[in-house]
Structure 1
Amino acid sequence: MNSTIAQLVGELDADSSEVAEDAQYALIAMGPDVLAQLTAATPRLGVFGQLCAIEVFTALKDPRPGSLLIDLLESGNATVRQWAATALADLGIKGAVPALRRAYEAFRQRGEAPDDSEGTALRWALTDLGARKPVLPPRAAALRASPDTLDPAWPTAHLAEVIEDLAAHDQAVLHFQVWRIKQDKGAYRDHGPAVDWDVDRRSPWDRIVADCRDWALLAAEATEKAPDLIATICWIDASDL
């Protein structure tokens, strides 16, 4: 056992988040040699320590912690489950698909809001690993922007048209996020919609779709339209509820 690695892993559970994050960055800088000890210790770490560990696994881009991340999908903490799902997708762990499906079914059975961060992460992970195919109507697909880092995304000038198209194909728009494209620097989160919405999930699906469309259109109307602004959209099908 490497004593330096052991000390840094222990510091991920420090009372000070600054100390924990410094340990996290130090472990990343040491590279894949830290993985065996960190993987073995992660189940005994507290919530913040486990989140730091997940960030180390993701940064090192090594699939070896895949089994541990699958186990963390059953954590008692929603943020740990969310981050584990995202890490499994980032690392391309296709063997995680059955566990992700179970986690998403458990999420749905708990009756959580579909735009909850955990649900969004689980849907994205299943989609990214090829186990879920979102409905993307042809017109909405044709209007997509093509930034290097965000796909799918749309110019804010086309938001209303895309929202209408998704609703016409029985898709409920939960929210969208606006990003500013900076030349040669990628996309940066700019702001969310000026209008937030929540709908009664007990309503019939067609009512949910219509309510989400109406609220999303109000938000789109209030959103700045500019050539360097794009939006990512979160939407669901009836089978996701």
Structure 2
Amino acid sequence: MARIGGGGSENGPEHWHEHFPLARGQRQSPVDIRGQDSRYDAALQPLKFNYEPTTAQTITNNGHTVQVQFGEGSVLTGGPLEGPYRLAQMHLHWGSGSDQGSEHTLEGRRFPAELHLVHWRACYPELSQALSHPEGLAVVAVLLSLGQPCPALQPLVGAIDSVRTRGTEGPCPAFQPRELLPACGDFWTYPGSLTTPPLLESVTWLVLREPMAVSEEQLVALRSLLSSAAGEPPHPLQDNWRPCQPLHGRELRANFR
């Protein structure tokens, strides 16, 4: 299995192109978001999050992140999206320290962590079928900055002990993903890809402009997870972010000036 993030590893992102040619594709993610590459688009609609807290089902350590799986009932619309997109799962990317960890950067600035809410276009019966279409997925990215504890993230942090090692899964505690989103509705959008293998170029990215604060203690809890399975030598699950990729002429659209 390819290790997610962390330069220098023989299975790290710099080697992914050896097994996944799309790693050098024309619409890879993440990217550095710069003002010179962005333009205001008045046609972009506000994002509408119709999320139900009861749809959170399981929490899993899959070896490269901690993931919350959602059932039916939570839907995203608006922005550049045509029709509704169903919420499938949520996961995070973080570093080994508080000075790095996000995948997207703003004018070269990297944040301590980044949260992704993954949706698939509801006209496809399943997420697996949406993956092969250029507009199949919509991922909302929330940049996480260091500050006060995030109350909405605490149920997930409190469940980390139950999924400490790779391959473990447990029921998800009461969880409201809508509260993980900033009050500001500003966002950038661009056509991109998954940031982990197989790096499929099927994602419409929606990167929220306003970061959400998390505490150092919450980041420490994430860094306590292991990418190793029970009974294996412990290996910290850290630096699970992919470096920024070239834009290759892509334009970032914004719903704000």
Judging by fraction of residues, say which structure has more strand: 2
Using structure 2 for the length normalisation, give the TM-score.
0.22
Using structure 1 for the length normalisation, give the TM-score.
0.23
Which has the larger Rg?
1
Judging by fraction of residues, say which structure has more helix: 1
- Higher RCO (Cα < 8 Å, 6 or more apart): 2
